[in-house]
A and B are shown apart, each in its own frame.
Chain A
Amino acid sequence: GNSVTQMEGPVTLSEEAFLTINCTYTATGYPSLFWYVQYPGEGLQLLLKATKADDKGSNKGFEATYRKETTSFHLEKGSVQVSDSAVYFCALSQGAQKLVFGQGTRLTINP
């Protein structure tokens, strides 16, 4: 079945550091790929998405490129802020909108 694997956390960085959170997936066909963010005490928010190979999703300075050849969708940001501290989830969907999530990566940014 479909699955998503994320780099294990927690990840701790200093403000203005470069961020990469790795995500790889297993799926038949061509899934849509997503990054969701969960701030403390809140529900999941869609951060960005890509629906076909080579698409780049971007939002709030975050970017991720749908790489079919490596089945990856790594999340990057050039300069993180304290407010980016949250749990990040990589996810895929195929067909009937069911989302399959990775285990999440907790990110902490220190001032």
Chain B
Amino acid sequence: DAGVTQSPTHLIKTRGQQVTLRCSPKSGHDTVSWYQQALGQGPQFIFQYYEEEERQRGNFPDRFSGHQFPNYSSELNVNALLLGDSALYLCASSSDAGGFYNEQFFGPGTRLTVL
């Protein structure tokens, strides 16, 4: 089992550009969540996708958008990059088995640097 995988590992962009980050969930998982972790801070929830739809969203502007594909993989898109978007972006997958809590498994993250 490969676990949650993310690509690319590192990315450098300039202000105003657009970026796409990718995530493949753990085998058997159908739900993907994205988090932003600024340096020295805890992860902040961006949004969650289930059945190819955004199910829940955190306090992030519309510049942040996402997509989930039929194979449950997901993309995070950020438009009009700002310096403050520099962070580690974490993807987490889980199985929406209907229980009270379904453990989220995290990928290693994509380090985005905006210059």
Contact = CB atoms under 8 A, between A and B. Distances in A.
The answer to whether A and B assemble together is yes
Interface of A: 4, 32, 36, 41-46, 49, 51, 89, 91, 93, 96-104
B42 A43 contact: no
A89 B90 contact: no
Contacts of A97: 31, 33, 48, 94, 101-102, 104
Nearest to A4: B42
Main secondary structure of the interface of A (DSSP, over half): strand
A51 B33 CA distance: 20
Contacts of B42: 4, 89, 91, 101-104
A41 B102 contact: no
Interface string B89-103: 010101000001111
A46 B58 CA distance: 21
B96 to A, nearest CB: 8
Contact of B109 (A43, A49, A93, A104): A43
A46 B105 CA distance: 8
A99 B56 contact: no
B48 A96 contact: yes
B106 A51 contact: no
Contact of A100 (B40, B45, B90, B108): B45
